[in-house]
Structure 1
Amino acid sequence: MSKKKDSLYIGIDLAWGEKNPSGFCVAKPSKNKLKILDVKLLNSIDEILDEILKYKDYKVHVGVDAPLVVPNDSGNRDIEKEFNKDFAKYKISMLPANKKLLTKYSPTIRSVGLFDKLNELGFKRDYKHDKVIFEVYTHSTVAMLWNNHEILPYKRKKGRNTEFIKTQLDIYKKYLLKEFYSHKILKEDLSTLKGKKLKDYEDMLDALTSAYSIYYCKKGDAKFYQVDGLDTFVTPISKWKVYVLKCADDTLYTGVATDLDRRLDEHNSSTKGAKYTRVRRPVELVYYENCADRVDASRREYEIKQLSRKEKLELINV
């Protein structure tokens, strides 16, 4: 592995207090998947820093499932306010992050301490740098990318017994197998786990998802949320889009897709392209909008199709 060229993706499911371990994962891209180099549980911030520093000669992207910048004494940060508004349609929300709440678990806010130390080592909230760090949120990643825009209920909660949790974790594990090459953690027999071991396993899966989040958001559909004017938290958003194509005969075609590049290629060179565009090639993408889900995309597609050509051109040129 070339240290100067290759990127590594580190996921941390950081425990808010010092009594519980944190999930930690290191992965590298290989073709269209991630290869797990290491996944484990760590206890202290110093242990986490030591593990990250092992890879100091590489391009390192760190995704932490915990609040990294907490300027407010109470209430919600702007991140939670904006995220909860955006994701209310999916019934997904973030817990408040503030100094009063987080110092109940530790005299100092562990995640802020980790961020400050990594910031001193050159980690920035910007994908343009070789050392990158962002907050991520496993629930929104799982929902947006794999679980049909719904929360996967794998966290322990009143009314969820151990067998139910195991069933959900098994679903979670299968989702991760689509994105990671096979590894012993993804072959774990959940029937043998209970109590703390089951919780530890959940934390390590969350570390994998945190690593995948920071990897996906570098290249995929993502939204950034800010603190003090700087991007701080990033999450995948819905892949669904409505788009408009300009055809070779100057007519306009409207459709929906989850992968615009693939769909444009199909319209131009495949029998999978729409019947309308197959006889009007080449076509070019002139407009698209992000949509909340398939239903929202189909609704917006219908609205655009009802517009006159003049109105469509006005939309495209906005």
Structure 2
Amino acid sequence: MNSLYIGIDLAWGEKNFSGFCVTQQEGNKLKILELKLLKSIDEIVQEITKYEDYKVHIGVDAPLVVPNETGNREIEKDFNKDFAKYKISMLPANKKLLTKYSPKIRSIELFDKLSQLGFQRDFKHNKVIFEVYTHSTIAMCFNNHKILPYKRKKGRDSDFIKQQLGIYKKYLLQVFKKHKILETELDSLKGQKLKDHEDILDSLTCAYCMWYCRENDFAYYQVEGVNTFITPVSKWKVYIVKCSDDTLYTGITTDLEKRVDEHNHSTKGAKYTKVRRPVELVYYENRTDRVDASKREYEIKQMNRQEKLELINV
């Protein structure tokens, strides 16, 4: 059964359109199969039901499960704490706020209807749905852990927005097959057409997030103990391998599997491990960026053997 990745940049009110895309892996990129602007929840669900014979992974940039009347969900609290170091945060999601946009909260309506069709917050299933966030996906996967300021905001004029959207499209071209949406000239777009273009790009990022998180490092955030929101996290890791002579070696990498293989089989492995093969990965932890990983690597290398073993066995 082939897999599809659907992205939805959901409008919070009935008057606005939602960006919608359907993508499929082709080689090491995603191929865009469908791009649409849809208005009603029923239209979105109808489009999704066309693909009932596929494994479908849906990423929605909107709060799907909102048990709280006011304040923040645990998702926002935990995410904002973890991503404060990147100056990335999520707005509050609660029923009082969302009903201002629509008496029937659209994101909850969408999730309920898709749940009835068998979609679950679990990658083990053939019908998968999670909340995603375009800002954190772009920051972690493309923009050096920083917000890309392409959203309309006070102090940002149309020329600035178009410049940022141009950067955005170059990022997406790294992971999507060529498509006219990624080659459209932004100079000709104004007003609602520019906003529609942005919504379509965001839907692609939602789909990409689902594809990325299936195979790469990501974090779950929960509502009432159930994984509900996912986001990519930094690729940088500090790791420890145990060598054939039982000694421990610490290093940093963005690709654990490749780096361990290099230690065991390649001339690119560290001098220390080349004469102590084979090595076995016994510990790793994600870090914010290369600088953070290097600092942590130094800290671990200053530990004695017993301290390292305690860290490994935590």
User: If the TM-score is normalised by the length of the shorter chain, which range does it land in?
Assistant: over 0.9
Please state whether the residue corresponding to 1:126 is helix, strand or coil.
coil
Tell me how far apart the structure 2 counterparts of residues 241 and 50 of structure 1 sit (CA, whole Å): 42
Match in the other structure for 2:112: 116
1:248 CA displacement: 2.2
CA distance in 2, matches of 1:272, 1:162: 48
Gaps of 5+ in 1: none
Q: Distance in 2 between matches of 1:50 and 1:314?
A: 54
Q: Deviations over 1:48-73 (max 9, x none)?
A: 11110110111111100000011111
The residue aligned with 1:66 is: 62
Sequence identity (%):
74
| In 2: Cα distance, 1:169 partner to 1:85 partner | 28
Aligned position for 2:85: 89
Match of 1:10 among 6, 24, 30: 6
Match for residue 50 of structure 1 among 46, 53, 58: 46
- Alpha-carbon RMSD across the aligned residues, in angstroms, is 1.0
Which residue, 283, 292, 296 being the options, matches 2:288?
292
- Which residue of the partner structure matches residue 235 of structure 2? 239
- TM-score for the superposition, normalised by structure 1: 0.96
Cα distance, 1:276 vs structure 2: 2.1
Cα deviations by residue, 1:87-118 (Å, 9 ceiling, x for unpaired): 11110000011111111111110000000000
Return structure 1 stretches of 4+ with deviation > 6 angstroms: none
Which residue pairs with 1:225 in the alignment?
A: 221
Equivalence for 1:209: 205
Alignment match, 1:258: 254
2:73 maps to which residue? 77
- The 2-side partners of 1:295 and 1:122 are apart by 43
For the residues of structure 1 that align with 2:270 and 2:204, how far apart are their CA atoms?
38
Q: Give, in whole Å, the separation in 2 of the partners of 1:177 and 1:111.
A: 29
Unpaired segments of 5 or more residues in structure 2? none
Instruction: Kindly state the Cα deviation for residue 301 of structure 1 after the two structures are TM-superposed.
Output: 0.3
How many residues are aligned here?
314
Aligned partners of 1:281 and 1:167: how far apart in 2?
50
Secondary structure in 2 aligned to 1:179?
A: coil
Q: CA deviation at 1:283?
A: 1.5
Give the match for residue 157 of structure 1: 153
SS in 2 for 1:210: helix
Q: Which residue matches 1:38?
A: 34
The residue number in structure 1 matching 2:183 is: 187
Shift of 1:19: 1.2
Paired with 1:75 and 1:316, the residues of 2 have a C-alpha distance of: 38
Structure 1: distance between partners of 2:169 and 2:203: 12
TM-score calculated relative to the size of structure 2: 0.98
2:306 pairs with one of 306, 310, 316: 310
